[in-house]
């Protein structure tokens, strides 16, 4: 079975996986990083979004072996101790979550957008989040949160 090594939230992690092991599965089941959620079998919900070398990726669409050697950031890697990442703060302040199931993926996607577009319009946010589904239908506040979080980030992650 192949061995993979990747930097996850700043720490080098190695594991033995099957060729078919998904990155989402490796993060959750091998590394115990269960903040990355799996909400579908069809690559549609976006609950599993993480950053791979700085870009948002649905980790259920990527094999662990494809991420060998990559830098991965998951939702667990955002806060600095008790200090939340500005995008996490914005979701809290703008009530951008209800049950929270979609939130890790939403936040990871939103940070990628903010890195590309520091002051995104409502239209841009809605278009960007097309691949992130919220079953609580909290989109209105999510959009407000993403816009505020992007401004708070000031153009940097």
Site residues, ligand FES (CB under 6 A): 38-40, 43-48, 58, 60, 97-103, 134-136, 138
Closer of 79 and 136 to ligand FES (Cβ): 136
- Residue recorded with tokens 């490796």: 26
Closer of 81 and 106 to ligand FES (Cβ): 106
Q: Which two tokens stand for residue 82?
A: 């008790």
Output the smallest distance, CB 137 to ligand FES, in A.
Answer: 8
| Residues 147, 134, 45: CA angle, nearest 5 degrees | 105
Output the smallest distance, CB 154 to ligand FES, in A.
Answer: 26
Closer of 16 and 61 to ligand FES (Cβ): 61
Rounded Cα gap, residues 138 and 75, in angstroms? 20
* SS3 label, residue 105: helix
Output the smallest distance, CB 115 to ligand FES, in A.
Answer: 21
Residue 60 near residue 38, CB atoms below 8 Å: yes
């Amino acid at each position: 079975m192949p061995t993979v090594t990747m930097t996850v939230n700043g720490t080098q992690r190695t594991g033995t996986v099957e060729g078919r092991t998904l990155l989402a599965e490796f993060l959750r089941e091998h590394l115990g990083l269960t903040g990355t959620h799996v909400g579908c079998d069809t690559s549609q919900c976006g609950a599993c979004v993480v950053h791979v070398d700085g870009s948002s990726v649905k980790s259920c669409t990527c094999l662990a072996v494809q991420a060998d050697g990559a830098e991965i950031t998951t939702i667990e890697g955002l806060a600095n101790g008790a200090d939340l990442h500005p995008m996490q703060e914005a979701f809290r302040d703008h009530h951008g979550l209800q049950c929270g199931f979609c939130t890790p993926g939403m936040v990871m996607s939103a940070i990628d957008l903010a890195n590309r577009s520091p002051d995104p319009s409502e239209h841009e946010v809605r278009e960007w989040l097309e691949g992130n589904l919220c079953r609580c239908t909290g989109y209105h506040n999510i959009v407000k949160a993403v816009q505020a979080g992007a401004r708070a980030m000031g153009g940097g992650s």
